Structure 1
Amino acid sequence: MEGRNAFPPKPEHNDKRIKRTTMFKSTTPQSLDSETLSFCQSISRHDPLYLRYTHANYQAGDCHLNVREHVRRNGGRSISGWIIWRSGADWFEAEHHSVWEDQQGNLHDITPRYDGEELILFLPDPLRTFDFKHMKGWCNRLNWRGYSSFAFASIPTNQERFRFKGGAVVFRSC
């Protein structure tokens, strides 16, 4: 890695050493409790829903490009939103994400996770879409012990960098 601000190389999907890249081990929330719903409502007016991974032979970490290609091949459309992750009672994360909507209106998560997680909590958000012209997405939203760190800023790659109040910088990719 060259330079202090260089991004690490993107790992391969089948690399078994890959873990979620947040400061905590986060996973899909087990239920739609009041804390989870409150976090979701702070991001989008739409209702969250659980989606199972639909095996479609695409690469992890490239959800926006995967869905665009899937729409080109199969019709339907791309739906933008967020994957909601949770770690314990104090940590939430919303990861910008795209899923495929088929011609019957069913949603499918066609992008595998690096850690192999098969179920996600998806929060639709049609106001925040991926900019294919400039290849820019949205930074993740975090909530930790009541402090909401939110940077809706576009970035030139699918890797994200954001800063906590304490000065810690976390890198993350979709």
Structure 2
Amino acid sequence: MQLDELKKSISTLEQVFAKTSSDININVEASETAQKKILKKYRQSFTATAVLAVVFAASWIGNVNPAAFPTHIRAFLVIYLVMATVWYVFMYLKLKRVDIGSLAPARLFSATTTIRLLTLTGEIVLGIGLAVFFTLFLPNLLSVRPLAFWLCVATLALSCLWGVCYLWPKYIRLFHDLNTIK
């Protein structure tokens, strides 16, 4: 009885190995298009964070409107934005180095999985940073300007909804297209 089960398992294993050893062809055109779109999104992200870092650094140095936006919160935001800029530049350069046309499928899958995991990790860490920022900023804003607080909360809610319903599915599709098989 056990010998028959073992033979059946070995047969199944041989079938799996036969399927995985066949040639896998990457759809290079679709993968390169996805790579260009992801690179564009990284470029937009690091450009936006760099511009915002410069603007908030100037307001921090110039000490503009300290009641609604205290210095320690601006300092935190500038440091956060600089770190986000560095992260997006790093991810841009890492993805740019992946040559889809010349890599073997296994190496391409490995490289793109690494980039996908790094992107996810970076977004989670940056999201935690944003949560800390708004935890510091919103109570202060509520005490100084209640109307601005509620406008900020509504904007945050809408941007979270937009991100989850519109942006995340696009990113997931782009990362899926990065490994398109013919």
> TM tier, shorter chain?
under 0.3
What TM-score results when the alignment is normalised by the length of structure 1? 0.25
Judging by fraction of residues, say which structure has more strand. Answer: 1
Largest Rg, 1 or 2: 2
What TM-score results when the alignment is normalised by the length of structure 2? 0.24
Judging by fraction of residues, say which structure has more helix. Answer: 2
